[in-house]
Amino acid sequence: MTTKTYNGWTNYETWNVKLWLDNEESTYHYWTGRTRQIWDDSDTPDNAKYELSEALKDEITDEVPEITGMFADLIGAALGEVNWYEIAESYLDGITDDC
């Protein structure tokens, strides 16, 4: 089996989502704020990673435009490859580095 990493991330899809989340200042500030909130509300680091990964997945997939057919399948497949846990871990590493 071939490892399919991209720029230090699990895959291209994960890297691309994280790039876009950090690329817009307002989106970056939103997710760093949500990360801090989830960290403060969680009882364990693993729980924080899980909660943040679910929040990322839910909020981003909810933003997918209403489309059907081939393009819907392709977007769904790409989002299905995203390692949400890895993105959450990256945000949480920024929070815990500040502590």
Query: Please, are residues 84 and 91 in contact by the beta-carbon 8 Å criterion?
Result: no
pLDDT in tens, 69-80: 999 999 999 999
Reduced DSSP (H G I as helix, E B as strand, rest coil) percent helix, strand, coil of the chain, to 5: 75, 0, 25
- First-to-last alpha carbon distance for the chain, in angstroms, is 39
Identity at 82, one-letter amino acid code: V
pLDDT in tens, 44-57: 999 999 999 999 99
Instruction: Using pLDDT thresholds of 50, 70 and 90, give the confidence band for residue 18.
Output: very high
Query: Please, are residues 23 and 54 in contact by the beta-carbon 8 Å criterion?
Result: no
Of 99 and 32, the one with more pLDDT = 32
Contacts of 75-79 with CB under 8 Å at 24 or more apart are 78/13, 79/13
**Is pTM, for the whole model, over 0.75?**
yes
CB atoms within 10 A of CB 17: 22
- The ranges assigned to domains in the chain are 12-98
Of 63 and 2, the one with more pLDDT = 63
Rounded mean pLDDT of the chain?
Answer: 94
